[in-house]
């Protein structure tokens, strides 16, 4: 990438969606449209919730934002990059370097230690392990309060601990944007609160942008901005709230 492109990317919003649509073929000649033209801008450092009824299209939208799926129509810009212009290898590179994922299930590799799981994104990116990678993973496990557990096997940890490992793993490449699809959906209230608090701390400390899908309104109200999807349309939260309304939420 040339210099002027990278400085432009620094000023650009982390995410810009323009008229994003997604249809799925069902059967041979029937198509149903799930997302009906989504416009959305998320700036660096925002801490957002994505809410909406079951089946409204939240995960479909998150998969498109996360470059795991392509929109049928419309534009997706990640840190200023027009993703339409990127081939598969470049998309993979942008995804692994700019976006971290946290899912409802931690999806750790069960027979690997917490540390090895957190090292995984960097290992996949670089191809071989090194001391810096190990140090980074260790620091991140400290960040999520699991320094003492770094040599524990993933499957010997509680659900809340596994989810904290998953957050550390999502941060391994120091991504601009973390996408979390119901990260607290399988956790008890106390662990859910702890996981949200942790994401907020990372947001404040590193300026990492978060977009968190949740069905839990109490958690959503602790974010700065609630984006609501109903029937494949963003019905509120399209724009950033003013400081006044944000203070009311937090």
- Per CB under 6 A, residues contacting ligand ATP are 24, 26, 34, 52, 54-60
Q: 43: closest CA among 8, 10, 82?
A: 10
Shortest distance (Å) from residue 55 CB to ligand ATP? 4
Q: Among the residues of 44-83, which ranges form H helices?
A: 58-65
Shortest distance (Å) from residue 90 CB to ligand ATP? 24
Beta carbons within 8 Å of 164's beta carbon, 6+ residues apart? 144, 145, 146, 194, 195, 198
By the rule CB under 5 A, 59 interacts with Mg ion: yes
Using the contact rule CB under 5 A, the part of the chain among 59-67, 97-105, 112-120, 160-168 near Mg ion is 59-67
User: How far is it, in rounded angstroms, from Cα 108 to Cα 226?
Assistant: 29
Distances (CA, A) of 174 to 76, 101, 168, 178, 192: 21, 12, 10, 9, 23
In the three-class reduction of DSSP (H, G, I as helix; E, B as strand; rest coil), residue 94 is classed as helix
Which residue has the CB atom at the shortest distance from Mg ion?
Answer: 59
DSSP state of 240: P
55 binds, among Mg ion, ligand ATP, none (CB under 5 to 8 A by kind): ligand ATP
Output phi, psi for 158, to 5 deg. -70, 165
Complex with Mg ion: residue 122 or 163, whichever CB lies closer: 163
Shortest distance (Å) from residue 133 CB to ligand ATP? 33
Shortest distance (Å) from residue 43 CB to ligand ATP? 24
222 binds, among Mg ion, ligand ATP, none (CB under 5 to 8 A by kind): none
Shortest distance (Å) from residue 59 CB to Mg ion? 3
Complex with ligand ATP: residue 5 or 230, whichever CB lies closer: 230
Complex with ligand ATP: residue 60 or 222, whichever CB lies closer: 60
């Amino acid at each position: 990438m040339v210099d002027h492109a990278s400085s432009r990317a620094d000023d650009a919003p982390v995410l810009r969606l323009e008229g994003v649509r997604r249809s799925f073929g069902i059967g041979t000649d029937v198509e149903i449209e799930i997302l009906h033209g989504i416009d959305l801008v998320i700036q660096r450092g925002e801490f957002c919730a994505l809410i909406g009824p079951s089946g409204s299209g939240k995960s479909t939208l998150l998969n498109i934002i996360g470059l795991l799926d392509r929109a049928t129509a419309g534009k997706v810009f990640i840190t200023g990059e027009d993703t339409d212009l990127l081939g598969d290898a470049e998309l993979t590179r942008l995804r692994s370097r700019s976006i971290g994922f946290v899912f409802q299930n931690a999806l750790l590799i069960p027979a690997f230690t917490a540390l090895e799981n957190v090292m995984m994104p960097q290992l996949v990116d670089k191809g071989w392990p090194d001391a810096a990678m190990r140090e980074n993973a260790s620091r991140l496990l400290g960040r999520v309060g699991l320094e003492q557990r770094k040599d524990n096997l993933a499957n010997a940890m509680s659900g809340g601990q596994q989810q904290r490992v998953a957050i550390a793993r999502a941060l391994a490449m120091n991504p601009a944007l973390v996408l979390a699809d119901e990260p607290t959906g399988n956790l008890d209230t106390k662990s859910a609160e702890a996981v949200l608090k942790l994401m907020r701390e990372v947001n404040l400390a590193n300026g990492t942008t978060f977009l968190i899908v949740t069905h839990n309104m109490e958690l959503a109200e602790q974010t700065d901005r609630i984006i609501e999807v109903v029937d494949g349309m963003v019905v509120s939260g399209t724009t950033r709230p003013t400081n006044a309304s944000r203070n009311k939420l937090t």
